[in-house]
Amino acid sequence: MARQYIHRERHLVSRIGWLRAAVLGANDGIVSTASLIIGVAAATPASGAVLIAGAAALVAGAMSMAAGEYVSVSSQSDTEQADLARERTELAQDIESERAELAGIYINRGLAPDTATEVARQLMAHDALGAHARDELGISETTTARPIQAALTSAATFTTGAALPLALVLFVPTRALVPTVAVASLAFLALLGGIGARAGGAHIWRAVVRVTFWGALAMGLTAGIGKLVGTAV
């Protein structure tokens, strides 16, 4: 009786789907909401206006992230499904050519022709569409598009990120709001960058510098525009 070998490992690439959406959502939540709060606070001393602007940014941003991710990832999913449907048709019409095509892929990767032909035969006997999806189309369970997961993750993480600078509006005096939100948001961004890099196995300090630089630039530009508009009005 043949022994079945099962080798299970957890690779970082398996986190790509949710990690991308989570980091992007939280980062956008902090940057966009903090920037808007800082811009409005620089334009007007009214704390009520700042709070309304921050709350509106949280709700609108979360919905925008969810819709954007869903539409984007759905388009990817539609493309994958169309390719799989075409491949399914080709397998039904000319399976020998598809087997030769798969063997050719393995030969290009370094297998001997006889070995490649045998590998293609055995894999297609087990799951012909799955073999072509992985090795011809590059579609696998790890990387396949999941629109709903991406949308929900982005909305939830955006809300979490946006809530951090928004909470400061409730507790920090208006005169100290701009520097406090700026410093705290940069700290949040640095922490987020470090967590995302650690989860993805990337260079931590490089990620921290990257997110804090762009966050500081966004908040600085928004504060400058808010100051100019407030002075003009």
* For range 56-77, the mean pLDDT: 88
Residue 140 confidence (pLDDT) above 70: no
pLDDT score, position 143: 59
Alpha-carbon dihedral 217, 220, 224, 225, rounded to 10 degrees: 60
* pLDDT, tens digit (0-9, with 9 covering 90-100), for 178-196: 899 999 999 988 888 887 7
pTM: 0.69
pLDDT band at 162 (very low <50, low <70, confident <90, very high): very high
Listed as own residue / partner, the contacts of 183-190 with beta carbons closer than 8 Å and 24 or more positions apart are 185/30, 185/31, 185/34, 185/215, 185/219, 186/212, 186/215, 186/216, 186/219, 188/30, 188/161, 188/164, 189/27, 189/30, 189/31, 189/215
Of residues 175 and 58, the one with the higher pLDDT is: 58
Residue 233 confidence (pLDDT) above 70: no
For the chain, the first-to-last Cα distance in angstroms comes to: 84
* For range 81-93, the mean pLDDT: 87
* Residue 133 C-beta-side C-alpha neighbours within 13 Å: 19
Of the candidates 218, 198, 217, 197, the one whose C-alpha atom is nearest the C-alpha of residue 207 is 197
Q: Is 141 exposed, middle or buried, given 0-12, 13-18 or 19+ CB atoms closer than 10 A?
A: exposed
Of residues 205 and 9, the one with the higher pLDDT is: 205
pLDDT band at 200 (very low <50, low <70, confident <90, very high): low
pLDDT score, position 59: 93
Residue 20 confidence (pLDDT) above 80: no
Q: What percent of the chain is predicted at pLDDT more than 90? A: 14
